[in-house]
Chain A
Amino acid sequence: MIRDAWRKVRSRGMPPAGEETGSMLPENLIWVFGTARTGSSWLSAIMGEIGGYSRWHEPLVGHLFGNLYYERAGHRSEDEHFILGGRYRYLWLDTLRRFVLDSAAARFPEVAAKEEGYLIIKEPQGSMGAPLLMEALPESRMILLVRDPRDVVASNLDAHKKGTWTADLMRKGGKEKPPSLAESRPDAFVRGQARRYVRDVGNAKKAYDAHRGLKVLVRYEDLRANTLESMKRIYSALEIPVEEAELARSVEKNAWENIPAEQKGEGKFHRKAKPGGWREDLTPEQAEIVEGVAGSLLRELYPVRSTA
């Protein structure tokens, strides 16, 4: 009751969305933030299978605004001439809100048409802009999906080697993958990926802490250990009704064990899905690099884990 009243106040206090927003309700958006290689494709596939849900696969709107705001023009945040300047925050947050709602309604009319439809927005690579997105859309629901940074970096290290799925992806887009630091200078690559983890997960965590609406923090490791229980916890925290049998079917359908063996393994999109696998993948020096760069987040998100 109190939460409902609060949401009403928040939505009235927010700059209004444009009329082009159609019928997309911001409270029916479920954002999945974190960083790449944390299982967001898996999680969003499980949720997207359920009736009434659609999945928006990486719109990158968080990266679009977050990259300029936090990185390239971070020094200008108080400059009133800057388009994303602090003094006119209400104006550009309104635009950001319309950007998302208009775009979502145009792409997913089947969700916009339903009162009870939900849109899962899988946005790990736009997590840098999560604080801006959640501020612009305070009624939306949020999942912060985290994974041990050492496993994230190990997964990326594998993905960016020669002849892996990332090269196939680039080839499909008409480009050849340039030589990667993952091959020529793996330690430098590891450091870069650890910094990226801090940037993405750090900002997503800030958004999570600030978000007053419905939200849930999920560890990839818990999702792997007991998927159905974790999924039920997610739906409960987000206050979304779900039929347990349907959820169980989706969990089963998307289970690691049901992915054909030839689609799994090193160099493939589905690699090993093994929490703690970093011990086999990273050198002790590389593990130390990650712990040095991402130590603060590691301690905060995984307080009982050991370090290298």
Chain B
Amino acid sequence: MTPRFKRAWRRAVRKGESLRSRARRSSRGVSPENIVWIFGTGRSGSTWLGSMMGGLDGCAMWNEPLVGNLFGNFHYFRVGGRKQGRQYILGEPYKETWLGPMRDLILAGAAARFPGVIGGGYLIIKEPNGSIGAPLLMEALPESRMIFLIRDPRDVVASSMDARSEGSWLSERREAQRRTSKPDRNPNVYVRMRANSYVQQIEKTWQAYRAHGGRKVMVRYEDLRADTLKTMKRIYSALEIPVEEAELARSVEKNAWENIPEEEKGEGRKRRKAKPGGWREDLTARQVEIVEDITAPLLNEFYPHTATTRGAL
């Protein structure tokens, strides 16, 4: 065989395998419209919300794939002015060459991990720490549904500080990674850093939410805590997902704060206090000021009636 013939043969083999593979994927995959994304930021109740939704019959929860982090962190915060160029792999002029593989990565990953939702069930993708890539993900999967889950930034920061304090549930991993200034070492620096990451994540979620033409809903953690069943019914209604009220009520009850054993709750644990406004007990006055100064535009947008230490926003 000549080299030219060998190459042509190899190409034909690959093409045939490729077409067969894509046909398999499209006929046995998870429907993109049956994917529900939960974006926002960490420590905003996304595990709780995801558990209530993923626990329903025929549904499942994909717990933080970090696919949004994979693409968004790099694209929005690391490459600077190269986005418009010809060379950069996620360059804007070549969007169609990378949105397709991004979409396939998610759909193929979903089908492989959650075969139970193939054929009509819903897959809840809890992705608060990948929210930085929400605009890219929703563009790649415009048929998907989206939940924008938001919580008062002061409570988010207070909860994060507790989670990363010495001896708490997240501190060991962070220690192993040798990253993130520990709240114990320099609390105000940590508060500033976490407030900044809140702004990055919520702004990108908001950007995706505004641009998304499909079904979507914005939920405040505080409303979910105040009347969980009513808020859940609103979510399902906005997302146009049929749900039996009795089944939903059972899931709400099963995942209720009050039903978590006492020994699994409290400071240093993943489930801490679930108390909107608890930041007043957790943060110093200076820390509150730091958070409010950094997140002022978002507080103003999403919590317009909240009182701040500097008065009106």
Contacts and interface: CB of A to CB of B under 8 A. Distances in A.
Given A83-B67, A115-B7, A88 B112 contact: yes
What size tier do the contact residues of chain B reach? 35 or more
B164 to A, nearest CB: 14
A218 interface: no
Given A8-B10, A59-B89, A103 B63 contact: no
A12 B66 contact: no
B282 interface: no
A60 B88 CA distance: 6
Interface in B1-37: 4, 6-7, 10-11, 13-15, 17-19, 21-22
Given A91-B112, A92-B109, A95-B104, A17 B70 contact: no
A106 B80 contact: no
A102 B15 CA distance: 13
B71 A64 contact: yes
A156 B249 CA distance: 61
A36 to B, nearest CB: 15
Name the prevailing secondary structure of the B interface residues.
helix
B113 A92 contact: no
A173 B113 CA distance: 41
Contact of B18 (A16, A76, A106): A16
Interface in A1-49: 4, 8, 11-12, 15-21, 23, 25
B101 A95 contact: yes
A12 B101 contact: no
A11 B69 contact: no
A68 B98 contact: no
A63 interface: yes
A64 B69 CA distance: 10
Nearest to B63: A81
A122 to B, nearest CB: 9
Contacts of A106: 94, 96-97
A58 B78 CA distance: 14
A107 interface: yes
A158 B176 CA distance: 33
Contacts of B197: none
Of the candidates B66, B78, B112, the one having the most CB atoms from chain A within 10 angstroms of its own CB is B66
A82 B67 CA distance: 8
B257 interface: no
A102 B101 contact: yes
Contacts of B63: 81
A67 interface: yes
B82 interface: yes
B80 A72 contact: no
Contacts of B108: 91, 94-95
B79 interface: yes
A172 interface: yes
Interface of A: 4, 8, 11-12, 15-21, 23, 25, 56-61, 63-65, 67-68, 72-76, 80-84, 88, 91-92, 94-95, 98-100, 102-103, 105-107, 115, 170, 172-175
6 nearest A-B pairs in the assembled complex, by CB-CB distance: A173-B81, A16-B17, A16-B18, A83-B65, A59-B89, A61-B89
Given A83-B70, A92-B105, A103-B89, 13 more contacts: A8-B6, A20-B100, A59-B87, A67-B74, A72-B69, A74-B177, A81-B62, A84-B66, A88-B109, A88-B113, A91-B105, A98-B104, A174-B81
